[in-house]
Amino acid sequence: MKKLAVAALGGNALIKGSQTGTIYEQADNARQTCEGLIALIQKGYDLVITHGNGPQVGNILLRNEAGYNIFKIPKMPLDICVADSQGGIGYMLEVELKNLLQKYKIKKNIITLVTQVIVDRNDPAFNNPTKPVGSFFIKEEADLLSKANNWVFREDPRKRGWRRVVPSPLPKDISNKDIIRDLAKKGNIVIASGGGGIPVIKDEDGMMHGVDAVIDKDLAGALLALEIGATEFYILTDIAKVYLNFRKPDEKALDTIPVRQAARYLKAGEFADGSMGPKVLAAINFTKKTGRSTIITESGKLNDINSGTIITK
């Protein structure tokens, strides 16, 4: 049976922490990220790509505020901003990946699907925002923005500054999952569920409505991998492995760990919310339910068998 991989790209796939996020920076980062994915395609995998959007959707929200304050342009709700980010990021990834396919003489079609993801309207996350979006600010800037816009900020676990946080409900179902699976199994590269998907709820009549939230892309990626029958799940970030005591003198890299051990580490608080925590939880969700491995690593190290943390059954 042909292998089907889902690769979840971190927000740093397009904007790294020290960058301002110009189109030139994002295109260069997208090219480097997609170069890593070529390794999977050359190994014969069918491929579905999902991606983060934290920096991008945060910047879209800031444009919202600037446009309203200066020109009185109506503000768009967060679900529309997520949809905007899906289209823009999908476009950039498509362009860079198409160019690389031509470079390596690989014949593949690529399609980006604007994807809705259903969440529970009663999810407690709506009352406890945790998902970081947008740029890093110093404490004084964050305090001013918080007072001006009634936003919530939290300090980054890696001490890079303060970021706005928004509700992050758990994904319950992926819209158009059957289409995503069918396109991928026919050999097309599919970019779907970007930014965790556009968060929507169903009302009593079964009607869909967008909500102000950003779904964690790793948890949505794990659900997508489950629902389309992926044989492997890759979570690509800006570090090569998962660590215990991260950024501390006694930090320890994890190589291969069983899913039960990963769950114990997560419960013990070893992995920060809004950072490595959701990635490890997503890996646990996929591996526990399928018995198949999840690999957490850097995109440029997909060919390095000694890189990455592998979570196994």
Catalytic residues: 11-12, 131, 217, 279
Q: Which of 184, 141, 181, 185 is CA-nearest to residue 164?
A: 141
The three-point CA angle 5-9-12 to 5° equals 165
Determine the Cα–Cα distance for residues 116 and 209; give it in Å rounded to an integer: 10
**Cα 113 from Cα 138, distance rounded (Å):** 36
What is the rounded CA–CA span in Å between residue 119 and residue 170?
6
Question: What is the per-residue DSSP string for 236-280?
Answer: EESSSSEEESTTSTT-EEE-EEEHHHHHHHHHTT-S-TTTHHHHH
Residue entry with tokens 């026919």: 186
- In whole angstroms, give the CA distance from residue 193 to residue 213: 14
Query: In terms of DSSP H, where are the helices of the chain?
Result: 23-42, 54-71, 78-103, 139-149, 177-185, 217-227, 259-267, 276-290
